[in-house]
Structure 1
Amino acid sequence: MLEKHYYVPVLKWKQGEQKALEELPISIKEATSPMLEVPPIDWDFENDTPKKTIDEHLQKVGETLSRSWGSDSPFFIDLYYVDSTDRLANGQHPLSFVLQETRTRGLNAIPVTSTNRDVAYQAEVRSAHQQDQNGICFRLKEEDFGDLQNNIGSLLTQLSVNPSEVDLVLDYEYVKPDERVRTMLFLTGILSSIPFLNQWRRLILCGTSFPSDLSSIDSNSIGQIDRAEWLIWKRLIYSGSIERVPSFGDYAISNPAPFEADPRFINMSANIRYTGDDKFIIFKGRMIKRYGGNQYYQLASQVVTHPEYSGPNFSAGDQYIQNVANNTDGPGNATNWRKTGTNHHITYVVNELATVTLP
């Protein structure tokens, strides 16, 4: 049985996120159950074709999971973004291959499914549970909330499981910070209408206020975004209006939507995403293509002099920020800074949750 204080960050399984997990100490990993999304195959916009085959895309998934997680603590694995028609060259289903890789390495993977997966995907989830007895994760989103009872009942029947074998995730994805009160009231109603409420192995509430881009933050400025998902969760658990306290989940320092734009035409600004008390603090420079990556030296200096900087000993991410500010490392690239911000964020949330006294 997983504990209520476990934190569930939803992470796209890319190099920055992989390195962020790899650099977490075991004490933080033991308090975390990440939901890892295998991303879609990158698109070659110039030739209008996928950059890789599905075999090439998944070739190192077991190796990266073992190196980056390397713990017997459970984690969730979701292949929602892998095309449902894709099969490996030998005919194997991608989910079957990924779970085979985790099984071989002694990793504790829980397959994620939802109401919109096809028959073949659901068959692989059912087969994995029967073989591994690790349970299943139901990930329900807003389109499922209107008929929650029937959608849940259908999944239980289709997958031949009881609620006690299932981790139920209510994923409301993106919420605008100024809509958090309305969202909290909506979620209160959803949480009170869940069938078998006290029978689920674990109940998890997940969402984020992190936007799809940082255009709302001015260049050469320090901005902030309220962590609406964290504020909503805290209000919910202390409201006295819900019977069962859900675990907390978010999308770390990312937006739920996958990045699908042609990178040749993206003018990304240098930025450091830093999690603070009830907010994301955004240290933003100017366009990297025009002004270069050396901006990160100045941005890192701004972080370490900010009153909410946690100090170099707080996390591997914070140590890296200090090193770049001191010009002993860096300047880094987008992958380095995604690793850094994610590593700090996970550490920060685990520490926050450790101070929460559940009613």
Structure 2
Amino acid sequence: MNFDHSHYVPCLRWKQGEYQAVLRLHEKAKKKFTPLIQVPEFGYDFEKGKEPKVIDKHIEPFAKRVHDKWGKLPCFVDLKLINPSVRLENKTHPVKYVFDDLRRRGCYSIPVTGLGRDKAYQQAIKSILIKDKSGVCLRVSIEEAAKGSFATDINSLLSTLNVQVDNCDLIMDLVTPNFEPLDGFSKVIQNIVKKIPYLAKWRTFSLIGTSFPKSMGGIKTGVTNIPRHEWQIYKIIIHSFKKAGLRLPTFGDYAISHPDIPDLDWRVVKPKVKIRYTVDDKWYLVKGKNYRDYGYGQYHELSKQILNSGYYYGPTFSWGDKYIQQCANGGSTGHLTMWVGVDTNHHIEKVIQDIASFYDS
């Protein structure tokens, strides 16, 4: 696998809304990005007051869903959201189970690891490297990359995995920093990146992060504009990296999600309906009232607001845009998961367009 800075690397928790969004993308769009797919977290059982004991059923459908929704196109697969101490009933490590299943289905999946993963995790990754010979992706935080020991830590991990740097993809994950002031933070990133060992040798080099809010709770009903700081700063970084002669990173984000997992009891919470519509440099967010008391019918009006906003890209732009138009015209309102798919589908198509336009200019 190989791609350059004009590609796109969105980080997606592989849940129904996300994988249906990916399935419904235009075929030409699928060749312009490589998803960083996260095996979803092992959910808390609020009725029993604890995590489920058996992970087998949780991860059993994962590989099939990757195959059915993404096919045999390249992807990164990360199990960092799974508790590292958890094992299947037969004592198999979840990493081994997932990649054995992906391999059986012919999926082109690159395993993801990082500096903080435990010995058993790294050993499972090493075994996959030996079998698949497809390389590995190292996902590091900006804090790890800023350490004086970073080069030593990287060399130690490469040695542990017995892999050459040119067979490794590097993702520097900013997660959710305070991006502002953008110019100042871009200089911080540049100072860190220029010290990354083997910068020119990594198979691919990506920079991901997000400014999407952790919670919608503090956002008022109606229309709100949320800056896409990760995209704004990326454009600043590219200009400064070009001047400095540094390798240009590939852009990545968390689509329309925040990376932190909300610890909510879905039996009692009352989520409000919303559409997160990605436009130039921001999200145009329209928010209604909670669906438990006021119903999904609110989506008809929210969809009309998108169509009349001056930002709407038209029904042929994406499957998500077509769904919004149909809903505005009285069609199905769907449910919350459906709208994660609608918003994510539009977002990915929009970011692919953004990247192409940016580099064409």
Report the CA distance between 1:51 and its aligned residue. Answer: 4.1
TM-score, normalising length: structure 2: 0.95
Report the CA distance between 1:357 and its aligned residue. Answer: 2.3
Report the CA distance between 1:14 and its aligned residue. Answer: 0.7
- Counterpart in 2 of 1:101? 101
User: What amino acid is aligned across from residue 11 of structure 1 in structure 2?
Assistant: L
Alpha-carbon spacing, 1:178–1:216, altered in 2? closer, same or farther (3 Å):
farther
Report the CA distance between 1:119 and its aligned residue. Answer: 0.8
- Counterpart in 2 of 1:277? 280
Aligned partners of 1:140 and 1:250: how far apart in 2? Answer: 14
Give the SS at the match of 1:235. Answer: helix
Q: Is 2:355 the counterpart of 1:353?
A: yes
More displaced, 235-244 or 120-129?
Answer: 235-244
Q: Is 2:140 the counterpart of 1:149?
A: no
Q: Is 2:300 the counterpart of 1:267?
A: no
More displaced, 133-142 or 287-296?
Answer: 287-296
TM-score, normalising length: structure 1: 0.95
- Counterpart in 1 of 2:39? 38
Aligned partners of 1:103 and 1:79: how far apart in 2? Answer: 16
Question: Percent identity over the alignment?
Answer: 37
- Counterpart in 1 of 2:261? 258
- Counterpart in 2 of 1:299? 302
Aligned partners of 1:168 and 1:321: how far apart in 2? Answer: 36
More displaced, 339-348 or 240-249?
Answer: 240-249
More displaced, 84-93 or 4-13?
Answer: 84-93
- Counterpart in 2 of 1:21? 22
Correspondent of 2:317 among 299, 314, 317: 314
Q: Is 2:204 the counterpart of 1:202?
A: yes
Unaligned stretches of 5+ in structure 2? Answer: none
Report the CA distance between 1:265 and its aligned residue. Answer: 3.7
Q: Give the ranges of 4+ consecutive aligned residues of structure 1 lying more than 4 Å apart after TM superposition.
A: none
Report the CA distance between 1:157 and its aligned residue. Answer: 1.4
- Counterpart in 2 of 1:128? 128
- Asked if the contact 1:184/1:232 (under 8 Å) is kept, the reply is yes
Unaligned stretches of 5+ in structure 1? Answer: none
Aligned partners of 2:95 and 2:181: how far apart in 1? Answer: 36
- Counterpart in 1 of 2:233? 232
Report the CA distance between 1:150 and its aligned residue. Answer: 2.2
Report the CA distance between 1:100 and its aligned residue. Answer: 1.1
Alpha-carbon spacing, 1:234–1:257, altered in 2? closer, same or farther (3 Å):
same
- Counterpart in 1 of 2:173? 171
Alpha-carbon spacing, 1:328–1:267, altered in 2? closer, same or farther (3 Å):
closer
Report the CA distance between 1:134 and its aligned residue. Answer: 1.1
Aligned partners of 1:263 and 1:75: how far apart in 2? Answer: 30
User: What amino acid is aligned across from residue 356 of structure 2 in structure 1?
Assistant: A
Number of residue pairs aligned between Structure 1 and Structure 2: 356
Give the SS at the match of 1:124. Answer: helix
Report the CA distance between 1:50 and its aligned residue. Answer: 2.4
Give the SS at the match of 1:225. Answer: strand
User: What amino acid is aligned across from residue 124 of structure 2 in structure 1?
Assistant: E
Report the CA distance between 1:90 and its aligned residue. Answer: 2.1
Aligned partners of 1:86 and 1:358: how far apart in 2? Answer: 47
- Counterpart in 2 of 1:11? 12
Give per-residue Cα distances to partners, 1:295-334, cap 9 Å, x unaligned: 11100111111111111000111111111111122x1111
- Asked if the contact 1:41/1:52 (under 8 Å) is kept, the reply is no
Aligned-residue RMSD, C-alpha: 1.6
- Counterpart in 2 of 1:222? 223
Q: Is 2:246 the counterpart of 1:243?
A: yes
User: What amino acid is aligned across from residue 193 of structure 2 in structure 1?
Assistant: L
User: What amino acid is aligned across from residue 308 of structure 2 in structure 1?
Assistant: T
Report the CA distance between 1:191 and its aligned residue. Answer: 1.0
User: What amino acid is aligned across from residue 263 of structure 1 in structure 2?
Assistant: W
Aligned partners of 2:92 and 2:81: how far apart in 1? Answer: 17
Aligned partners of 1:165 and 1:27: how far apart in 2? Answer: 26
Report the CA distance between 1:183 and its aligned residue. Answer: 2.3
Correspondent of 1:185 among 176, 184, 187: 187
Aligned partners of 2:300 and 2:339: how far apart in 1? Answer: 12
Aligned partners of 1:176 and 1:268: how far apart in 2? Answer: 26
